[in-house]
Structure 1
Amino acid sequence: MRKLIVVIIILFLCAGLSIIVLYVPSRAARIYGPAAPSLSLPERVQYSALLLWYDGLLTQPLDLNGAEQTFTIEAGESADLVAIHLRSQGLIRDSESFRSYLIYSGLDTSIQAGEYQLSTAMSALDIAHELQDATPEDVTFVVLPGWRVEEIAESLPTSGLPITYDEFLNAAKTPPQEYDFLVGASSAEGFLYPDAYIFPRTTSSAEEIIAEMVRNFAAHLTLDLRNGFDRQGLTVYQAVTLASMVEREAVQEEEQALIASVYLNRLNIGMKLDADPTVQYAIGYNLLQQTWWTNPLNLLDLEINSVYNTYRYEGLPPTPIANPSLDALRAVAFPTETTYYYFRAKCDESGFHEFSETFDEHLQNGCP
């Protein structure tokens, strides 16, 4: 009789254990999704039971009207530490229940470092899944001084913005016409202001990108700059064209006003500008060098039949050849007053130039 009772007790215990092993994980899976395959059976039962015990701590938001706040995860932070920080920032009710869910679901091993926009209107489950993708909502897109429109277009596909090279180039051919300096222009080249821009990752309009860059240019085109251009006898469009040449020619920023002076002096006497960057622009992409700016140029390059070739044609090229910085624009508006008509690179490879008044002096400055 005593043995029978022991057997019955054992059977009841086994039945109870079977119920726990089968029912508890099944119940948890219906509420929280499947358990991570990496969990052992005892771990699956343990964390399933914990989640059922915690119940509404994970599924109910703290405050449906809660505002967004920035939450940062540093590289190397453990899931435990993330849970503690979420609790201390008031984004979840309980750190232990959150940690248990991360382990149960396997999300504890895939939390990404980065900045997140979270709120108490999100449940703890929502937050756990949000922490799996640190991709920011905004994209920082940088346009460097001296880039031509094709270089800007080339950098778009890897920027995170869903805009193609061709879409950007096509949009640049029809620039915004609400600005006096772009009326009648066939391209936005020269007016895509070099800067760091922040766009929503979902921005899919090339026209919107270009409009923002041109707006930025207009914001920097002060009355002071306009008056400076006017004193040099230049329209805004002409000044930007010249500034784009200065931007490409000057290796050292401090020489921009000197180089602008040389170009202006040449323009004032009807002398050809003989500017290498205009030839580089005319040549276009150099497949061998993998660049839009062929360097060095040879004598055949200088003979290229293009209206942009200022070795062949007097005056400014028909359009800007790149997108100049504010410093280059200011160099054209307020050039150094000189009587220089020539310059050439110094022989020390410093990026600086030797300036001269006459062609004979220019020849004497040649490298041995």
Structure 2
Amino acid sequence: MSNLKKITVLILLLGVVAGGLFVYNFYNVFFNPNTAFNNEKAFLFIPSDASFDDVVEQLSPLLKNIEDFKITANKKGYSIKGGKYAIVKGMNNNEIINTLRSGNMPVKISFNNQDRLELLAGRIAAQLEKDSTAFLSAFKDPIFLKDNDFNLDNALSMYIPNSYEVYWNLSPEGFRDRMLKEYKRFWNDSRLKKAASLGYTPKQITALAAIVDKESVKREERPRIAGVYLNRLRRNIPLQADPTIIHALKKEENNWDRVIKRVLNKDLEIDSPYNTYKNIGIPPGPISMPDISAVDAVLNAENHNYLFFVADIERFGYHMFAETHAQHVANANKYRRWATRNKILR
């Protein structure tokens, strides 16, 4: 064999070896398992403004070889997208990149019984990416409120307490808009017809339901309490609901942490649209976020002749109901004596 042929064969052999090494390395970098954790899955929360270094920092404890991940990300042109992602045990770099590209997964969030928009913003911020200030700003946006026939007094009624699936990096405005859709879905034809038959708007029903919610933790009793308030409204009698006085006192002082165990006669003089001892009708907005059961209790209120109720001292959590003022005074005196004896004061 001539020297030229030998050189040619050698070059070909070197090419084959080099090609084989390239394929081997390529396969190892792209397709060999590269996870270093023992659980079935590991979750990443990538902020919307994250840099590649931020992603690498989160992934470093989870991968065997972070350099191979970097090479794969570069070759595949990985573009960072915020969200929650699940890295499955045994994934290779190619699969990890594909997941980070298109595997943003929803999270389940929940909220209930928030008394103010500020508390709701804090509750949501604890479950999603943005902070409470951003959520509160979206909730109070005057243009959004005006365009959708809400105001600061009744804006809380738009948020239906429940569990929802959303993306972790959903913007505050996106979350707010989603809740508006849920609000419209909640107020379906059936509920709208029931509200109309009572002569009230959904916002008024929610405001009344918030009082019912505060009055009783017993769901089975709420339709009866709702019936009392509807009877009073029909007869143009003030609701005289203590929870509205508590709300008015806290609102006037801007002290929402204040604990008020017992409403006193002097408290009933407070000048507030939430004072249902002085003002006839439903307050301008909900004093809290009512449970769905409380809303449905108002829409499906019990039909009776009761006009009064007071806490039942023999069945804690329940109430004694009365049709006449005289019956109510007797029940109320029982409660006052018990409350005084047990020092249930402020």
TM-score range, shorter chain: 0.5 to 0.7
Q: Report the 3-state secondary structure (helix = DSSP H, G, I; strand = E; otherwise coil) of the residue aligned with 2:183.
A: helix
Give the corresponding residue for 1:339. Answer: 305
Give the corresponding residue for 1:116. Answer: 86
Q: Percent identity?
A: 25
Structure 1, 309-318 or 233-242: larger mean CA deviation: 233-242
Cα 1:261–1:202 shift into 2, 3 Å: same
Q: Report the 3-state secondary structure (helix = DSSP H, G, I; strand = E; otherwise coil) of the residue aligned with 1:60.
A: helix
Whichever of the two has the greater Rg, that structure is 1
Q: Does 1:60 align with 2:30?
A: yes
1:188 and 1:356 map into 2 onto residues whose CA distance is 34
Aligned partners of 1:176 and 1:211 also within 8 Å: no
Task: In structure 1, list runs of 5 or more residues that go unmatched.
Answer: 1-51, 63-72, 84-100, 106-113
What are the residue-to-residue correspondences of 1:247-266 with 2, within 5 Å? 247-266=213-232
Aligned partners of 2:117 and 2:139 also within 8 Å: no
Q: Report the 3-state secondary structure (helix = DSSP H, G, I; strand = E; otherwise coil) of the residue aligned with 1:189.
A: helix
How far off its partner does 1:256 sit? 1.2
Deviations 1:24-57 (A, max 9, x none): xxxxxxxxxxxxxxxxxxxxxxxxxxxx9x7444
Q: Report the 3-state secondary structure (helix = DSSP H, G, I; strand = E; otherwise coil) of the residue aligned with 2:86.
A: strand
Q: Report the 3-state secondary structure (helix = DSSP H, G, I; strand = E; otherwise coil) of the residue aligned with 1:323.
A: coil
Corresponding residue to 1:232 among 177, 198, 213: 198
Give the corresponding residue for 1:190. Answer: 157
Task: In structure 2, list runs of 5 or more residues that go unmatched.
Answer: 1-21, 42-61, 67-83, 339-346
Corresponding residue to 1:200 among 158, 167, 174: 167
More helix by share: 2
How far off its partner does 1:150 sit? 2.6
Give the corresponding residue for 1:326. Answer: 292
Aligned partners of 1:344 and 1:355 also within 8 Å: yes
How far off its partner does 1:282 sit? 1.7
Give the corresponding residue for 2:240. Answer: 274
How far off its partner does 1:230 sit? 1.7
2:221 and 2:133 map into 1 onto residues whose CA distance is 33
Give the corresponding residue for 1:149. Answer: 117
Q: Does 1:283 align with 2:253?
A: no
How far off its partner does 1:255 sit? 1.2
Aligned partners of 2:140 and 2:152 also within 8 Å: no
Deviations 1:139-181 (A, max 9, x none): 43322046432321232342243132464156335345665xx
Paired letter, 1:295: K
Aligned partners of 1:281 and 1:293 also within 8 Å: no
How far off its partner does 1:334 sit? 1.7
Deviations 1:121-148 (A, max 9, x none): x7449859x99xxxx8544332204643
Give the corresponding residue for 2:262. Answer: 296
Corresponding residue to 1:360 among 304, 326, 341: 326
1:209 and 1:326 map into 2 onto residues whose CA distance is 20
Cα 1:104–1:337 shift into 2, 3 Å: closer
* TM-score (normalised: structure 2): 0.65
Instruction: State the structure with bigger RCO (CA 8 A, min sep 6), 1 or 2.
Output: 2
Paired letter, 2:295: L
Q: Does 1:163 align with 2:131?
A: yes
Cα 1:210–1:294 shift into 2, 3 Å: farther
Cα 1:362–1:148 shift into 2, 3 Å: same
1:311 and 1:80 map into 2 onto residues whose CA distance is 63
How far off its partner does 1:228 sit? 1.2
How far off its partner does 1:292 sit? 7.1
Q: Report the 3-state secondary structure (helix = DSSP H, G, I; strand = E; otherwise coil) of the residue aligned with 2:122.
A: helix
1:81 and 1:276 map into 2 onto residues whose CA distance is 52
Root-mean-square deviation over aligned CA pairs: 4.1
1:349 and 1:80 map into 2 onto residues whose CA distance is 53
Aligned partners of 1:192 and 1:217 also within 8 Å: yes
1:348 and 1:288 map into 2 onto residues whose CA distance is 35
Aligned partners of 2:213 and 2:290 also within 8 Å: yes
What are the residue-to-residue correspondences of 1:66-105 with 2, within 5 Å? 79=37
Cα 1:285–1:165 shift into 2, 3 Å: farther
